Amino acid sequence: MTTFAEAITDGYTQAMEMDKSVICFGLGIDDPKGIFGTTLGLKEKFGEERVFDVPTSENALTGIGIGASLNGIRPVMSHQRLDFFLLAMDQLVNNAAKWHYMFGSQSSVPITIRLIVGRGWGQGPTHSQNLQAWFAHVPGLKVVMPSMAADAKGLLLSSIFDDNPVVFIEHRWLHNLKGDVPAGDYRVPIGKAQRLRKGSDISIVAFSYMTIEALHAIEVLEKQGISCDLIDLRSISPIDWEMIFESVKKTGRLIALDTGPEICSVAGEIVAQVSMECFDVLKQAPQRLALPQFPTPTSLALTKVFYKKAEDIIELAGKMLEKDIDLKSFQRSKDFLHDVPGDWFKGPF
């Protein structure tokens, strides 16, 4: 079993061994903490020409990555928080996303940008933003948000070797989750979702950390006779519409989950497309569960009501199927507070 974080390191290692043109850089990439452990040992293995720390200059470095990529380099850039990368939206949106299209398909931008989303321990308004919808909204970008360790590796490799800009978003609370990760050059195609649970009553479409909450919820729902189809999107641009539509055509019900604020969210887009494509088979209005339309508060007390969790999914599914759900059977080990994913996490960052 490998952690999500180790799977990322594995993905890097595989890519850099296979192709000398792969380089990686980012703040703290070679420091003792190695970006939450995901880049430990890379500099020792591949040398400081291919693995290097950088000035605090997000926008320029994104452009520099784009420039290098135009001449055959495959840069993998990393940011310890998605929020820090906002300084580089100009290079990403005005250059990376457009280059291939606006110059008549003559050159492309094979860059990968890793962004980590924080949560808990008071990460607050500027260290925990889930802005994946911004990236998914921009034509010309691909956006992936794996939730399982194997997909982290498989999608990282696919992102690095894709000839287009890929935004690779990792939720901090996934880094310690373990799973079986295939060895070698293992790739997960961008744009393909994965069905994690098969069921007939309701389709739950999730990605990133919300997939984990959905798995907890489904355990309870199944026990109470609600059979769920769980689709882990893995990629949010492009989205695997086929798998979603096929599932909803079977169940007639949809809950779309999102880690970000609800207005103009990925979940909102899924609800829209399902409403248009599956209107005839829908047994009731599709639903979404996402964050409230507010910045993340910092206080322990305020984050408690801010985030959506398994209980909310259970409640919503129960309501849709008009079943009284006994939440008492929902037992998660709770010897830690709601603002951490487990007792291994003590912040502070």
Ligand X SMILES: Cc1ncc(C[n+]2csc(CCOP(=O)(O)OP(=O)(O)O)c2C)c(N)n1
Q: How far apart are CA 230 and CA 67, in angstroms?
A: 40
Position of minimal CB gap to ligand X: 84
State the Cα–Cα distance between residues 286 and 320, nearest whole angstrom.
Answer: 9
Give CA separation, 261 vs 77, 183, 240, 265, in Å: 25, 36, 22, 6
- Examine residue 238 and say whether the peptide bond preceding it is cis (omega within 30 degrees of 0): yes
| Known catalytic membership, residue 127 | yes
Residue 227 interacts with which of ligand X, other proteins, none, CB < 5 to 8 Å by class:
none
Hey, how many other C-beta atoms are within 10 angstroms of the C-beta on 340? Answer: 15
Eight-state DSSP code of residue 96: I
Q: Which of 304, 326, 327, 332 binds other proteins (CB under 8 A)?
A: 304
Give the nearer residue to ligand X in terms of CB position, either 294 or 349: 349
Contacts with ligand X, 70-109, as mask; x by CB under 6 A: --------------x--x----------------------
C-alpha to C-alpha distance for 195 and 205, rounded to whole angstroms: 9
Residue among 56, 71, 105, 333 that touches ligand X (CB under 6 A): 56
Closer residue to other proteins in complex, CB, 42/221:
42
Binding mask 271-300 for other proteins (x = CB under 8 A): ---------------------xxxx-xxxx
Query: Which region holds residue 26: left if phi is over 0, alpha if psi is between -120 and 50, else beta?
Result: left
306 binds ligand X (CB under 6 A): no
- Strand residue runs (E) in the chain: 2-3, 22-26, 51-52, 74-79, 112-117, 142-144, 166-171, 178-179, 194-197, 202-206, 228-232, 235-237, 254-261, 287-291
Judged by beta carbon distances under 5 to 8 A according to partner kind, the member of ligand X, other proteins, none in contact with residue 104 is none
What dihedral do alpha carbons 98, 100, 102, 104 form, nearest 10°? Answer: -170
Pairing between β-strand 235-237 and β-strand 142-144 as defined by DSSP bridges: antiparallel
58 binds ligand X (CB under 6 A): yes
Task: Enumerate residues 52-81 that contact other proteins by CB under 8 A.
Answer: 52-60
CB of 263 to other proteins, least distance (A): 12
Q: Which does 33 bind (CB under 5 to 8 A by kind): ligand X, other proteins, none?
A: other proteins
- Contact mark string toward other proteins, 10..49, x via CB under 8 A: -----------------xx--xxx----------------
List phi, psi (to 5°) of 282: -70, 130
Catalytic (active-site) positions: 127
Q: Which residues sit at the interface with ligand X, rule CB under 6 A?
A: 27, 56, 58, 84, 87
Interface ranges with other proteins (CB under 8 A): 27-28, 31-33, 52-60, 83-84, 86-87, 121-127, 292-295, 297-306, 337, 339, 346-349
